[in-house]
Amino acid sequence: MDLLNNFLFIALPYVALTVFLVGTIYRYRGTKFKFSSLSSEFLERRKLFWGSVPFHWGIIILFFGHLIGFLFPKDVLAWNSEPVRLLILETSAFIFGISAFIGLFNLLLRRRTNSRIRAVTSWMDLIIEVIILVQIFIGLWIAFGYPWGSSWFAAVLSPYLTSIFTLNPQIDAISVLPLVIKLHISLAFLIVLLIPFSRLVHLLVPPLSYLWRPYQKVIWYWNRKRIRNPKSVWNITEPKNN
Amino acid sequence: MDVRSQISMLFHLDKCIGCHTCSIACKNIWTDRKGAEYMWWNNVETKPGTGYPTKWEDQNIYKGGWEKNGAKKISLKGSGKIKGLTNIFHNPNLPVIDDYYEPWTYKYLNLIESPKQDDQPTARPVSLITGEPIDIKSGPNWDDDLSGTPDYARKDPNLKNLSPAEQEAMFQLEKMAFFYLPRICNHCLNPACVASCPSGAIYKRGEDGVVLINQKVCRAWRMCVTACPYKKSYFNWSTGKSEKCILCYPRIEAGLAPACMHSCVGRIRYLGVLLYDADRIKDVAAADENSLIDSQLNIILDPFDEEVIKAAKANGVADSTIHAAQYSPVYKFVKTWGIGLPLHPEFRTLPMLFYVPPMLPVMASISDAKNKEQKEKLDPISKIWDDDWLYDTSTEELWGTIEQARFPLQYMANLFSAGDAEKIKQVMKKLMAVRIHRRSETVGDIDSDKTQTTLSEAGITSEMANDIFHLTALAKFDERFVIPPAHRELAMDMLENTGDVKGSSGFGFKEKPQRGI
Amino acid sequence: MNVISNYVIINVRFLLFAALIVISISQFTYPQTQGENIFKKTCIACHTIGRGRLVGPDLKDVDKKQSEDWIINFVKSSQRMIKSGDPDAVAIFNEFNKIIMPDQALTDAQIKDIIIYIKQQSTGSGQKTMTAELVHSSGMTLEFAGKDEILKGENLFIGNTRLMNRGPACISCHNVNYNNAPAGGLLALDLTNTFSKLSATGISAIISNPPFPVMNTAYKSHTITQDEAFYLVAFLQQVNHDSPNQKPVNSQSRFLLNGIIGTVILFGLFGGFWWNRKRKSVNQEIYKRQIKSI
């Protein structure tokens, strides 16, 4: 049991984080062309709506919920000090969880039943979708079976995650947690591990810079004014877009 | 004044014979690949018709282009920062493969490998996406030459402000007329695709204005497909990247005409440099509907103007480019003679591909005729032919024919001048005047007084008419394509050692364009 | 120079580096800890050495009563031993109100360290016995705790009043069945009848130094003060006292129902917000008409 706990909560996280870091950097530098969300809306759009929309909004809100619980546990606990607020937080997280689950279930169903989508499906797509589906299901199970997760996550798991990132892993607490919670944590690291090997890389390149860039984009291959000025020094500059 | 140069195109529609050679040349070079089978960076549409993808001009469906909201403000119709990012998980206006067609091939092997049997072996069509047998429902140019008129031509979005009678007249079998509209990417000055791209993969090249998609930055957010009102940005379903016409920039850089233009049988295509004032793009894009064309043509600068040349040089435009701008055939058609118009300027992207509207279907008119005598001569079967009209191609009273053209001017106006029929009429008058002038020169059956009147009414001189005639009908290759040198000696990325990449991947693309995992 | 092989070399380097990191990190995983530290961290809540019984037995001279192997096994999993019918283990379990001693994630070496520590402490003498009674800082004992104290305890329990050192409220993991108290967490034990099992001393010992790893982590740097412990015990005493009159509340099914209703509303919002989406291809109409005309 000790060995398994050490493996799941110390070895796996570090392996996962290392592989994630090295893998994504390598993939970004080496095969940037393959960084894509690989949208299949072009081939099928009707069923996609009830899959992609509930899944993505649900999973994004859940992801940031977990992240906030990890980074600002004190504030989460302060928010939860009022039972009504705790209930609102837990219920809305549960709703988005169900939404993400139904969405991903629809996506998986669409991926299996639509022949056009099947043509652009890789094994990894299926693996990753099944793992995330199981992960969301376990998450819902935990939310239902072990309330109030938002509080005990902040109190128990946040220190664990912090200890992982400060290279001093403390696993006493989580090694005695119920099995489903352990599974949830391990699957989370497994997903992190799989990011560089799957289409999940697209979540690393959200197009947020769009919000503050000007609409139009013109790229010059060389500094046009400088190059015509005989007094300026000739220097070699690579165009920035490639 | 921020003077920049733009490689722009002009298509002379009177000369297009609808042979699709341009499309094939383009397809052979660029889009004969998995995921790109359905892409026609260059396509030729029959007008009236719904085009490709079906009804692409109907922005109520596709939400492409810009819309004016406020005196000096425009915004993207179906994308943009807020809309684009909230719609990123499911783009509500994205055209799907069925709006184009499902690409297919035939199982030709069946024809030669089929065992001996009673029936002829057939080559079944199979989908190029799924590999399964399909029933072909449509293909590229399914409405070519007005085929399937009730389904396609009658649903042309450009029929919108034509009276029902006018529409009806267009589709009576005896009066039917059509022309071809070849389309490539317009390489706009205010491109909606660039503005809509969330990852910033699409950009306009500063040196020549070609709009390109960086394949390594494209993340398949699909907004450009929606935003381009001309639907000239295509989504590659296999690689998960958008692709579009690149104006054959590798050829242009080498001094060659783009493949579609080079191969054009009717020699309808012209390519040249225009100098324009980039500072005024914003104002022009937000101009009122009725002054859109004029203001767009206004930012194209006179390459002979000393001020312009000075400003261009200060701005880094190469001397060779300025020289090319002075000999640009596009400049002549669009500015000097004023017979080139942009396609759908109301989308406000400031397209840099201009069209000379076709005369052909307009020339002849339908006149009332009580041709009883004629009918008597017909054999009994034809006597049910009961119309009282005459297909009149006589050259008498030419101005009259333009107004009573069997092809409503309003239709042309919807295509080329944001609905302003007067603008089309001016262009038509010039084109007609050239013909009358040339007829009086070569055939001599029109007296010179009448020729002079028509010329002056159209607002051109006889020299101008001769020039137009020359560049339209007699121009040689070098006159049609005035391509400025690309100055690759200044583009440092071209200095990479050819030996380094030899045998592995070649220039530019160091990575196989393969679908991600 | 082939570009691809370049990347391969970089990749190999990266992997070696990654392996190095993993190895060096694994060094951290077996911290050497003194028996004393472990004892004070994990055992002290329930056990004393020569100061009388608490929740569990006094451990003085435990090394003389049982073999080292027996102790190691019991510490690792007392329940397994009880189930296997070890007479000593069963006797201890019954003697101490059948309170389960939580399994400790300790290594053999660590347990041996603890035993050594206990040995050292057992020989020492002249130490005062620990005050077993829970007292408020004002000197109030539990017998005198009234409504106010119980209410304070309830507020602390459900979180209305935050714990002084900002620890999570008890309700995060524990449930009590008490009047209007909102449904509590189910991660840890239901505390409704704990008072009768553990008595004030046991509860306060656990609160001040939780032996359960999860609780320990949660309150490690957010200890509960003595006064707070007093109020909480007072509250739990009341809860235990009132428990026969309480009706069980099924809060979980209400939670599930709320979740399902919320999801339906959310899906309605999605559908409404994107109501004007393009639902079918433009060609679909044409195909339909053509098929009909055949």
Q: Are A42 and B237 in contact (CB under 8 A)?
A: yes
The 3-state DSSP class for residue B446 equals coil
pLDDT at B401 over 70: no
Q: What is the mean pLDDT of residues B244-256?
A: 89
Question: Which pLDDT score, from 0 to 100, does residue A230 have?
Answer: 66
Annotation: CATH topology of C144-245: Cytochrome Bc1 Complex; Chain D, domain 2 (1.10.760)
Choose the weakest-confidence range: A237-241, B151-155, B346-350, C223-227.
A237-241
Task: Considering only the beta carbons, identify the residue of C3, C281, C290 that sits closest to B505.
Answer: C3
Q: What single letter denotes the amino acid at residue C216?
A: N
Measure B102 CA to nearest chain C CA, in Å: 11
Task: Considering only the beta carbons, identify the residue of A83, A98, A167 that sits closest to C28.
Answer: A167
Rounded to 5°, angle at Cα B338 from B212 and B300: 45
pLDDT in tens, C205-258: 888 878 788 888 888 888 888 888 888 888 888 888 888 888 777 788 889 999
Q: Which residue in C274, C278, C281 has the most chain B C-beta atoms within 10 A of its own C-beta, making it the best mutation to test that interface?
A: C278
Question: Within 10 A of A68 (CB to CB), how many other CB atoms are there?
Answer: 15
Q: What is the mean pLDDT of residues A204-208?
A: 92
Question: Which pLDDT score, from 0 to 100, does residue C118 have?
Answer: 81
A 20-39 → C contacts, CB under 8 A: 22, 25-26, 29-30
CATH 1.20.950.20 fits A2-211, yes or no: yes
Q: What is the mean pLDDT of chain C?
A: 77
pLDDT at C259 over 70: yes
Choose the weakest-confidence range: A38-52, B119-133, C117-131.
C117-131
> pLDDT exceeding 70 applies to what percent of chain C?
81
pLDDT at B271 over 90: yes
pLDDT at A242 over 90: no
Higher-scoring residue by pLDDT: C275, B509: C275
Which chain A residues are closer than 8 Å to B204 by Cβ? 216-219
Rounded to 5°, angle at Cα B103 from B99 and B108: 155
pLDDT in tens, B423-475: 998 998 899 899 889 988 898 878 888 889 889 999 999 999 999 999 999 99
pLDDT at B77 over 80: yes
Indicate yes or no: CB of A219 within 8 angstroms of CB of B219: no
List, as one string, the DSSP characters of chain C: --HHHHHHHHHHHHHHHHHHHHHHHHGGGS----HHHHIIIIITTT--SSS--SSS---TTHHHHS-HHHHHHHHH-HHHHHHTT-HHHHHHHHHTTTPPPPP----HHHHHHHHHHHHHHHH---PPPPP-S-B-TTS-BGGG--HHHHHHHHHHHHTSS--TT-PPPGGGT-B---TTPPP--SSS-B-TTHHHHHHHHHHHHHHHS--SHHHHHHHTTSPPPHHHHHHHHHHHHHHHHHGGGPPP--HHHHHHHHHHHHHHHHHHHHHHHTTT---S-THHHHHHHHHHH-
- Parse chain C into domains and list their residue ranges: 1-30, 35-123, 144-245, 251-293
C158: confidence class by pLDDT, cuts 50, 70, 90 = confident
Q: What single letter denotes the amino acid at residue A108?
A: L
Q: What single letter denotes the amino acid at residue B105?
A: T
User: How many residue contacts between A and B have a Cβ separation below 8 Å?
Assistant: 182
pLDDT at B510 over 80: no
The 3-state DSSP class for residue B74 equals strand
Choose the weakest-confidence range: B287-291, B396-400, C117-121, C194-198.
B396-400
Identify whether B53 is preceded by a cis peptide bond (ω within 30 of 0). Answer: yes
A159 near C CB under 8 A: yes
List, as one string, the DSSP characters of B143-195: TGGGTTTTTTGGG-GGGTTS-HHHHHHHTSTTT---EEEEE-----SS-HHHH
Indicate yes or no: CB of B492 within 8 angstroms of CB of A120: no
Measure B92 CA to nearest chain C CA, in Å: 4
Question: Which pLDDT score, from 0 to 100, does residue C26 have?
Answer: 46
Task: Considering only the beta carbons, identify the residue of A55, A199, A238 that sits closest to B516.
Answer: A199
Higher-scoring residue by pLDDT: A202, B385: A202
A102 near C CB under 8 A: yes
Which chain B residues are closer than 8 Å to C281 by Cβ? 95-96, 98-99
Supply the DSSP symbol for B256.
P
Question: Which pLDDT score, from 0 to 100, does residue C30 have?
Answer: 41
Tokens of B437: 């002038």
Question: Which pLDDT score, from 0 to 100, does residue B76 have?
Answer: 94
Indicate yes or no: CB of C159 within 8 angstroms of CB of A86: yes
Question: Which pLDDT score, from 0 to 100, does residue C130 have?
Answer: 46
The number of angstroms, rounded, from the C-alpha of B43 to the middle of its chain's C-alpha atoms is 8
CATH of C35-123, one of 3.10.20.30, 1.10.3720.10, 1.10.760.10, 3.40.50.2000: 1.10.760.10
The set of residues, in sequence order, having a beta carbon less than 8 Å from that of B449 and lying 6+ positions away, is none
pLDDT at B374 over 70: no
Q: C206: closest CA among C190, C186, C231, C224? A: C224
Q: Write phi, then psi, for B292 (nearest 5 degrees).
A: -60, -50
Indicate yes or no: CB of B151 within 8 angstroms of CB of C277: no
Question: Which pLDDT score, from 0 to 100, does residue B275 have?
Answer: 96
The set of residues, in sequence order, having a beta carbon less than 8 Å from that of C280 and lying 6+ positions away, is A46
Tokens of B207: 């040196």
**C35-123 shares its CATH topology with C144-245:** yes
Q: Write phi, then psi, for C199 (nearest 5 degrees).
A: 65, 165
pLDDT at A191 over 60: yes
Q: Which residue in B56, B504, B507, B509 has the most chain C C-beta atoms within 10 A of its own C-beta, making it the best mutation to test that interface?
A: B504
Q: Which residue in A36, A195, A197 has the most chain B C-beta atoms within 10 A of its own C-beta, making it the best mutation to test that interface?
A: A36
The 3-state DSSP class for residue B233 equals strand
pLDDT at C145 over 70: yes
Residue in the structure block whose two tokens are 């291809």: C281
Tokens of B413: 């106006």
pLDDT at B272 over 80: yes
Q: Buried (b) or exposed (e) across A190-215, using 16+ Cβ within 10 A?
A: ebbbbbbbbbbbbeebbbeebeeeeb
pLDDT in tens, A73-105: 989 998 988 888 999 999 999 999 999 999 999
C278 near B CB under 8 A: yes
Question: Which pLDDT score, from 0 to 100, does residue C190 have?
Answer: 85
Q: Are C251 and B106 in contact (CB under 8 A)?
A: no
Q: Which residue in B38, B62, B90 has the most chain A C-beta atoms within 10 A of its own C-beta, making it the best mutation to test that interface?
A: B90
Pick the most confident of B201-205, C77-81, C264-268: C264-268
Choose the weakest-confidence range: A11-25, A103-117, B104-118, C207-221.
C207-221
Question: Which pLDDT score, from 0 to 100, does residue B392 have?
Answer: 59
Question: Within 10 A of A236 (CB to CB), how many other CB atoms are there?
Answer: 8
Which chain C residues are closer than 8 Å to A80 by Cβ? 159, 168-169, 172
Q: Which residue in A28, A90, A152 has the most chain C C-beta atoms within 10 A of its own C-beta, making it the best mutation to test that interface?
A: A152
pLDDT in tens, B208-234: 899 999 888 999 999 999 999 999 999
Give the integer Cα–Cα distance in Å for B263 and B270.
Answer: 12
Which chain C residues are closer than 8 Å to B88 by Cβ? none
pLDDT in tens, C39-70: 776 777 677 777 667 777 878 778 777 888 88
Identify whether C168 is preceded by a cis peptide bond (ω within 30 of 0). Answer: no
Question: Which pLDDT score, from 0 to 100, does residue B70 have?
Answer: 83
Give the integer Cα–Cα distance in Å for B50 and B62.
Answer: 13
Q: What is the mean pLDDT of chain A?
A: 90
DSSP H or E run through A213: none
Measure B236 CA to nearest chain C CA, in Å: 18
- Parse chain A into domains and list their residue ranges: 2-211
Task: Considering only the beta carbons, identify the residue of B61, B151, B510 that sits closest to C289.
Answer: B151
Give the integer Cα–Cα distance in Å for C206 and C216.
Answer: 9
The set of residues, in sequence order, having a beta carbon less than 8 Å from that of C222 and lying 6+ positions away, is A155, C163, C165, C166, C167, C168
- Parse chain B into domains and list their residue ranges: 268-361+399-480
Indicate yes or no: CB of B138 within 8 angstroms of CB of C277: no
Tokens of B226: 């929606």
Q: What is the mean pLDDT of residues B22-28?
A: 95
Within 13 Å and on the Cβ side, how many CA atoms surround B350? 26
Indicate yes or no: CB of B96 within 8 angstroms of CB of C281: yes
Q: Are A55 and A107 in contact (CB under 8 A)?
A: yes
ipTM of the complex model: 0.90
Which chain B residues are closer than 8 Å to A203 by Cβ? none
The 3-state DSSP class for residue B236 equals strand
pLDDT at B505 over 60: no
Within 13 Å and on the Cβ side, how many CA atoms surround A209? 8
A25: confidence class by pLDDT, cuts 50, 70, 90 = very high
Judged by phi (left if over 0) then psi (alpha if -120 to 50, else beta), residue C117 lies in alpha
DSSP H or E run through A109: helix A83-113
Q: B350: closest CA among B301, B422, B288, B293? A: B293
CATH 3.30.70 fits B268-361+399-480, yes or no: yes
Choose the weakest-confidence range: A220-234, B54-68, B139-153, B218-232.
A220-234
Give the integer Cα–Cα distance in Å for B288 and B275.
Answer: 23
